[in-house]
A and B are shown apart, each in its own frame.
Chain A
Amino acid sequence: MTALLFDGVVQGLQLSLLAVGITLIYGLGGVLNLAHGQFAIVGGVAAALLLQLGINPVLAALGGVGAAGVLGLVVDRTLLLPAYRYRGEERLLLGLILTLGFSFLIDGYLNWRFPEFSLSFQLRVPMVELAGIPMRTASLAASLIAVAVFAVLFAFLKLTLLGKSIRSIIENEVGAELCGINPSRTRTLIVFLAAMMAGVAGVTQGLFSSLGTEMGPEFTILGLLVAVVGGVRSINGTLAAGILLGIVNVFASHYVGAYVAYIILLSFAMATILVRPAGLLARFT
């Protein structure tokens, strides 16, 4: 029982890591990124390729995260430019289609180039006892990394001037622009950070299980569901929703099977949109 709960939290943190990027890009850039899971996959594949070259696993992991970030940078500066020319619905629609197309581009290439690929850091790690439950250190490490990333993100958003300007753009883009904030440059930075976080999720996935090139759409969908349930403009909500859905998913998979678990998650997201579009856990404002 408690073991399931822990598993849920571990999975949930991974989901939050993906979803927070979707939330940030949506809140700041007004683009719903349907290629977000593919960023994670690219990060994982890059890390695996570096590992094959015989590079130290830690450096390889960092390299993977960096590769995801660079891909995000490129997407923001090239692919999304036509979308940024518009505002509101038009930008959302164009961004949605462009990122959907880009996700197919990545999926098609990776599945063709690395058909039998799987990333897995074969670390021989012992089990540890935590509060009486045997835990694999790898899952623990993955969760600690996720928590650390979130801590840095929150510190960045709350404490630095740049972080404050980012939050101001999420609140009101025009208002922020009037205060002298350059939304375009901040947007690029956010897409870069969000892609790196997706890269972290991809690489850590290889830490406690394995990562295949065909997992991109699944990552995107799960991230999207968490972002929707958490409220597509709220970062705290996304973190909470990720952990909640992770726990729900693990319990449902255990008791009623994977298909039903997935259907429950999807229904959660649908219900959220229909009943509380600002997010299940959004503050009443």
Chain B
Amino acid sequence: MRKYADIAAVTLVLALVPAAAGGSPYYMRLATLALVYMAWTVAFNLIFGHTKQLFLCLNALAGTAGYLAVVLAIQLKLSPWVTVPLGVAAAAGLGALFSYVSVLRGLGVIFLGIVTLSFSLIFHNLVLGLRQFTNGETGLVSRGLGFSLLEQPVPSYYIFLAVLLAALGTYHLLMSSKSGMAFRALSDDELTAELSGIDVTRYKVLAAAVASAILGLNGALYAFYNGIVSPSVFSFVGIDIPVLIALLLGGMRTRLGPVLGAVAFALIEELVRPWGQLNVLVYGLLLIVLFTTFREGMVPVIEKLWRRLDLRQAARLRPEQAEAQRRTP
């Protein structure tokens, strides 16, 4: 039971947020956005944290799903119930493809980074270039396409909460099964993992595909929720950098790190919002400082504090136990 206590606590707190927001649309939107980033960060944790694949195209994966879902719904008059799964499948397929090709060609972290960054830019230029479908820089209105639930603040919050819980559930399933063991082994040392009989290719592609599906699902729903899809909604600076920072803040390779990290990042972003353009500077500073001094993240620190508290309680118990033991002959 204890194993799920943290997830249960987080779920409870997140489920109560709409009540705390008191119907303020501003706070509801903020909270919903935080949920979106949490799920994205959970996905990135799988790709980058556990299987060490540097994907610099989170925006393009989420955006491919988002644009496909909206453009197909507009052009072919399909229901979002059809187009969203299509978008998710496309994102998952692309993620799996990048992962497979990188393993096949033995690309190191840098080259996979360059390939995915190139893909991110190709996506951006495609969206701008295919003006007749995407309406270029201005973007498309994604309201009134048959997803009315995502046009109301409170239901959309719970939809994104459900997606987040599904992502966390998938993460837990993966990590507590054989694949979790494989992830741990290959993130320590890929060659050793391969030599001890782990199919490294399979598990890396699996992680990339599952994570890309999460990225895509969230991206597609976000496209409908946001009301507008434009290149700036799915920009590199708007998605990849915040997710990277949130993951570092929370703690890589931890279950709750992405959730806590995204909350922390949302708070920081609210703080720097009045500074306008300078927020980019703060992102840069955060990246540098976090990567040089705080690579563990918050979760290990919290766990350490928790354990110390536990020990102290145990120490307080010990004299009485000793007393009790002395009395029994």
Which A residues are within 8 Å of any B CB, using their own CB? Answer: 32, 79, 82, 89, 92-94, 96-98, 100-109, 111-112, 115, 221, 224-225, 228, 257, 259-260, 262-263, 266-267, 269-270, 273-274, 277
A108 touches B129 (CB 8 A): no
Top 8 A-B pairs, shortest CB-CB distance: A108-B281, A104-B284, A101-B287, A108-B280, A259-B129, A105-B284, A112-B277, A101-B288
- Cβ contacts under 8 Å, B286 to chain A: 101
CB-contacts of B270-297 with A (<8 A): 275-288, 291-292
Q: Does B128 contact A (CB under 8 A)?
A: yes
Residues of the A chain whose Cβ atoms lie less than 8 Å from the Cβ of B118: 225, 266-267, 269-270
Say whether B21 faces chain A, with CB atoms less than 8 Å apart: no
Residues 98-115 of B, flagged 1 when their CB comes within 8 A of A and 0 if not, give: 000100010111110111
Excluding A97-B244, A270-B115, 17 further A-B contacts by CB distance (< 8 Å) are A92-B108, A98-B287, A98-B288, A101-B286, A104-B281, A104-B284, A108-B279, A109-B278, A111-B277, A112-B277, A259-B128, A260-B125, A262-B125, A266-B125, A273-B107, A274-B101, A277-B111
Are B281 and A112 in touch, CB under 8 angstroms? yes
Set of chain A residues within 8 Å of B126, measured between Cβ atoms = 259, 263
Contact for A102 among B109, B244, B288, CB less than 8 A: B288
B252 to chain A, nearest CB (A): 12
Asked whether A107 and B280 contact (CB < 8 A) given A93-B54, A97-B287, A98-B292, the answer is yes
Contacts of B277 in A (CB 8 A): 108, 111-112, 115
Complex CA–CA separation, A257 to B125 (angstroms): 11
Set of chain B residues within 8 Å of A112, measured between Cβ atoms: 275-278, 281
- Nearest-neighbour CB distance to chain A for B53, whole angstroms, equals 11
Q: How far is the CA of A112 from the CA of B278 in the complex (A)?
A: 6
Question: Which chain B residue lies CB-closest to A104?
Answer: B284
Are A273's CB and B114's CB within 8 A? yes
Most buried by A among B110, B122, B241: B110
What is the number of contacts between chain A and chain B, taking CB atoms within 8 Å? 111
Name the A residues within 8 Å of B282 (CB-CB). 108
B291 touching A98 by the CB < 8 A rule? yes
Residues on A with beta carbons closer than 8 Å to the beta carbon of B117: 221
Is B27's beta carbon under 8 Å from chain A?
Answer: no
B78 at the interface (CB under 8 A from A): no
- State the Cβ distance, A215 to closest chain B Cβ, in Å: 15
The chain B residue with its CB closest to the CB of A262 is B125
Whether the Cβ atoms of B105 and A101 lie closer than 8 Å is: no
Once the chains are docked, how many angstroms separate the CA of A5 from the CA of B241?
38
For the residues of A in contact with B, the DSSP-based class is helix
Whole-angstrom distance between the alpha carbons of A269 and B114 in the complex? 9
Q: Are B284 and A259 in contact (CB under 8 A)?
A: no
Give CA–CA (A228, B284) in the complex, Å: 25
Q: Is the CB of B121 within 8 A of A266?
A: yes
How near does chain A come to B193, taking the closest CB pair, in angstroms? 15
Whether B147 sits at the interface, judged by CB under 8 Å, is no
B125/A263 in contact, CB under 8 A: yes
B158 interface residue (CB < 8 Å to A)? no
Chain B, 69-107, contact with A by CB distance < 8 Å: what is the 0/1 string? 000000000000000000000000000000001000101
A sample of 15 inter-chain contacts (CB < 8 A) reads A97-B244, A97-B287, A97-B291, A98-B288, A100-B284, A101-B291, A109-B281, A111-B280, A259-B128, A259-B129, A260-B125, A266-B119, A266-B125, A269-B114, A277-B111
Contacts of B111 in A (CB 8 A): 273, 277
Min CB gap B119→A, angstroms: 7
CB closest residue in chain A, given B112: A273
Docked CA distance A218–B129 (Å): 17
Which listed residue (B128, B241, B288) contacts A105, Cβ 8 A?
B288
B107 contact set on A, CB distance < 8 A? 273, 277
Given contact pairs A108-B284, A112-B281, A224-B114, A93 touches B109 in the complex (Cβ within 8 A): yes
- Residue from A82, A101, A269, A270 whose CB has the most chain B CB atoms within 10 Å: A101
Do residues A89 and B108 form an inter-chain contact, with CB atoms below 8 A?
A: yes
Across the interface, name the chain A residue whose C-beta is closest to B136: A259
| Across-interface contacts of B54 in A (CB, < 8 A) | 93, 96
Task: Give the distance to chain B from A30, nearest Cβ to Cβ, in Å.
Answer: 10
- Which chain A residue has the least Cβ–Cβ distance from B248? A97
Contacts of A259 in B (CB 8 A): 125-126, 128-129
Determine whether the beta carbon of B109 is less than 8 Å from that of A89: yes
What's the nearest-Cβ distance from chain B to residue A225, in Å? Answer: 8
| Complex Cα–Cα for A112 and B125 (A) | 26
- A259-B125, A262-B125, A266-B122 known; A104 vs B101 contact (CB < 8 Å): no
Provide the bound-state CA to CA distance between A103 and B107, in Å. 24
Name which of B129, B275, B282 has the most chain A CB atoms within 10 A of its CB.
B129
Partner pick for A79 among B119, B125, B288, CB 8 A cutoff: B288
In the bound complex, how far is the Cα of B69 from the Cα of A103, in angstroms?
33
Contact residues in B for A228 (Cβ distance below 8 Å): 114
Q: Which residue of A lies closest to B280 (CB)?
A: A108
Q: Which chain A residue has the least Cβ–Cβ distance from B236?
A: A217
B115: chain A residues within 8 A (beta carbon):
270, 273-274
Min CB gap A222→B, angstroms: 10
Give A260's nearest chain B residue, CB to CB: B129
